Amino acid sequence: MSLKKIGEFGFIDKISRGCLVRPANIVKAIGDDAAAFTTDAGQLALITTDLLVERVHFLREAVSGLDLGHKCLAVNLSDIAAMGGEAREAFVSIAIPADCPLEYLEALYDGMKQLAAEFAVNILGGDTTDSKVDLIINVAVYGTVAENELLGRDGAQPGDIIFSTGPLGDSRAGLHLILNEIKADSAQLKSLYQAHVRPAPQLHEGRFLACQPGVHAAIDTSDGLSSDLGHIAGQSRVGATLQAENLPISKALQSFCRRFDFDPIQFALAGGEDYTLLCTAAPQHAAALEKNFKNRFKRPLSRIGQINATGRLEIVYPDGQVKPITPSGWDHFKALADEDHDGN
């Protein structure tokens, strides 16, 4: 089926189905000039937006519509998670090149709708237009959080313990498989591939952290641990020391790094797109936080380092070596010429 044949409004009719999963409080959904909904009193509104561009963030021929749709929404839900919020409404803008089949677009929306339904998020509107060359998708997400539960990047304090809610570096390994057309021929390689194409937004983990005593700051690991920890340190005007041996590196990543001769610490530090949450918490609350997290999510909260007052970021290796950490996560503009999306 060609997009040109069904037209913009035919396309909107098609993609509108299944978008409203939580109709309470929704006054206008898709179909008016703007969406309208009532907000809860005493809550903060959160809004985040992310733009994904073909050949920059994804290769259309290398990613299924379903996976791409999942990721477009997941990266935004992850930002709401990093604020401790609950995601509520999503808005999807899409610019479509003439050669993009309708089936691919429907799969893309299905990927978004499946993830949206999982977290009771409505897709309430957006914009559809055409594009000359590249498929372009912008998703904006509205969420809410109680004022006293908001997690920012600027609250870290010297002495705070630094945690990650999940493994680091897997997504970068998955990207390596895709860019080098290496078949994911084992359960371990498949898990790395999945980490890249199907990141799980940690909304439940974000809400959990927001409600625990002593949690001071949080961010999601989108650019890479070194860069994202740099944001916390910069905005909190603190420094940090990581323990290399404590970085949560999955068995799959260890095995991948042995096979392809990479340093897993580098993948964990600079990989990016893991979409775990980094948080910092007062040391006297750290043990209870770890225990409560383990009870709730049946997996560890990884203690990876400590905040200090130096203003510097460093990593300590098991042999006692101390190396400075540079914010070598992915910086779009400086890496324009780097097809590999690798900030190293």
Give every CB contact of residue 129 below 8 A, 6+ residues apart in sequence: 8, 93, 94, 95, 96
CB of 80 to a second copy, least distance (A): 6
55 binds a second copy per the rule CB under 8 A = yes
CB of 40 to a second copy, least distance (A): 8
**Candidate list 24, 27, 187, 322; residue touching a second copy; CB under 8 A:** 27
**Residues 270, 175: Cα–Cα separation, whole Å:** 13
Alpha helices (H) along 126-246: 170-179, 187-197, 203-211, 225-236
**Residues 86, 143: Cα–Cα separation, whole Å:** 5
**Candidate list 152, 159, 214, 300; residue touching a second copy; CB under 8 A:** 152
Give every CB contact of residue 69 below 8 A, 6+ residues apart in sequence: 107, 108, 109, 110, 111, 112, 113, 114, 115
CB of 118 to a second copy, least distance (A): 20
**Residues 79, 98: Cα–Cα separation, whole Å:** 32
148 binds a second copy per the rule CB under 8 A = no
The nearer residue to a second copy, 55 or 251, going by C-beta atoms, is 55
The nearer residue to a second copy, 104 or 193, going by C-beta atoms, is 104
**Residues 295, 148: Cα–Cα separation, whole Å:** 24
CB of 81 to a second copy, least distance (A): 8
Size of the site for a second copy (CB under 8 A): 77
121 binds a second copy per the rule CB under 8 A = no
127 binds a second copy per the rule CB under 8 A = yes
**Residues 9, 116: Cα–Cα separation, whole Å:** 23
The residues in 208-227 that bind a second copy, with binding defined as CB under 8 A, are 219-220
The nearer residue to a second copy, 21 or 182, going by C-beta atoms, is 21
24 binds a second copy per the rule CB under 8 A = no
**Residues 244, 248: Cα–Cα separation, whole Å:** 9
**Piece of 79-87, 158-166, 183-191, 312-320 that binds a second copy (CB under 8 A):** 79-87
Query: Which tokens is 109 given?
Result: 């929306």
The nearer residue to a second copy, 55 or 259, going by C-beta atoms, is 55
Give every CB contact of residue 294 below 8 A, 6+ residues apart in sequence: 300, 301
41 binds a second copy per the rule CB under 8 A = yes
**Candidate list 16, 64, 93, 292; residue touching a second copy; CB under 8 A:** 93
Chain-centroid distance, C-alpha 142? 15
The nearer residue to a second copy, 90 or 307, going by C-beta atoms, is 90
Q: Give which of 160, 167, 173, 196 is closest to 280, Cα–Cα.
A: 160
146 binds a second copy per the rule CB under 8 A = no
CB of 55 to a second copy, least distance (A): 5
94 binds a second copy per the rule CB under 8 A = yes
**Candidate list 110, 290, 314, 331; residue touching a second copy; CB under 8 A:** 331
Give every CB contact of residue 234 below 8 A, 6+ residues apart in sequence: none
